[in-house]
Amino acid sequence: MRMVVKIAGALLERDEDVQLVARQIAELARARHEMLIVHGGGKIFTATLARMGISSRFISGLRVTDRETRDAAVMVFAGLLNKKLAGAISLAGQPAVGISASDAACFLAEPMQIEDCEGGLGFVGYLTEVNVDFLRSLWREGIVPVASCMGLGADGELYNINADHMAAAAAEFIRADRLIFLTDVAGVLDGEKVLRAVRGTDIEDLSRRNKVSGGMILKLEAAKRALAGGVSEVRIVGGTKPRALLSAASAGRCPGTRVLPVIRPATRAAHGAAQ
């Protein structure tokens, strides 16, 4: 099976969590699944920026990214976190390489424009292309690609991409069978209860009733677009439980929340443009 696994930044904070996730990724890769790992790291990045005396500003959940913030993003996402995860998978017995936009121009981006934002979002982009041949060459050798959430622009600049947007768009571009979001909660929660399934049409309603907020809205929207783009199965699962990823990747019952399409997936739309 071909799958994209998005790892929450929160799961990269503790070594035990990193190793737990890495062992499961290695096991799935050994079973010859073709995997693309995409990782976030927003909270770690915000804390790093604070240490550097740079404040964070968000518009519609997206980080306003000036040049200084972008340069720091490359250091944290494409540097520290990316290498930490690739190293843990490699030590778990399956070779992994950390890749970011510039490497073999593997992820291309265009700057994102949003309305009513004076000065724009800066170096924030959306994914427009994936170098699938490059990924295939890694899979052929049994190597797991671990991608940071950035894209290379036609102007040679690196653009920060929201990790959920990136994972969903990449899943569509590589025609993944499954997209798994490993996050820091057990799934989409309604109070204490984990919702077994959320339909694309429910998202607006859940948000209006304040049942879902913040990063989870972005994730559900990304999930919905991936489904519309032809990814047949999208799962949101807690990443701290032992074997959570293995069961999310199996044919069995989803251990967290399944996101269901609005209608039956028909065509693979131009996903990137919708972001």
Ligand X SMILES: Nc1ncnc2c1ncn2[C@@H]1O[C@H](COP(=O)(O)OP(=O)(O)OP(=O)(O)O)[C@@H](O)[C@H]1O
Instruction: Rule CB under 6 A: choose which of 212, 231, 237, 259 binds ligand X.
Output: 212
User: Shortest gap between Cβ of 154 and Mg ion (angstroms)?
Assistant: 27
Considering the rule CB under 5 A, would residue 200 count as an interface residue with Mg ion?
no
> Please, which of residues 192-211 interact with ligand X by CB under 6 A?
211
Interaction of residue 183 with ligand X, rule CB under 6 A: yes
The smaller minimum CB distance to Mg ion, of residues 25 and 167, is found at: 167
Does 216 interact with ligand X (rule: CB under 6 A)?
A: yes
8-16, 77-85, 130-138, 169-177 -> range binding ligand X (CB under 6 A):
8-16
Look at the block and give the residue holding tokens 């200084």: 68
Integer Cα distance of 257 and 194 in angstroms: 7
CB of 211 to ligand X, least distance (A): 5
Residue 239 interacts with Mg ion (CB under 5 A): yes or no: no
For CA atoms 183, 258, 244, 84, the dihedral sign is negative
Q: Rule CB under 6 A: is residue 163 a binding residue for ligand X?
A: yes
The smaller minimum CB distance to ligand X, of residues 117 and 218, is found at 218
Q: Residues 215, 239, 261, 272: which binds Mg ion (CB under 5 A)?
A: 215
Q: Which two tokens stand for residue 272?
A: 């990137």
- Cβ count within 10 A of residue 110: 18
43: left (phi over 0), alpha (psi -120 to 50) or beta: alpha
Minimum distance of ligand X from residue 219's CB (angstroms): 5
Instruction: Return the structure tokens found at 202.
Output: 């429910």
DSSP 227: H
Per CB under 5 A, which region of 82-90, 104-112, 118-126, 213-221 contacts Mg ion?
213-221
CB of 218 to ligand X, least distance (A): 7
Judge whether 271 and 172 are in contact, CB under 8 Å.
yes
Q: Does 41 contact Mg ion by CB under 5 A?
A: no
- Binding of residue 42 to ligand X (CB under 6 A): yes
Residue type, 236: I
For residue 150, give the amino acid letter: M
Distance CA 256, CA 25 (A): 18
Which of 269, 177, 275, 181 is closest to 231 using CA atoms? 177
Cα gap 89→257, rounded to integer Å: 25
The least distance separating ligand X from the CB of residue 123, rounded to whole angstroms, comes to 18
Q: Which residues bind ligand X (CB under 6 A)?
A: 8-10, 40-42, 163-164, 183-185, 188-189, 211-216, 219
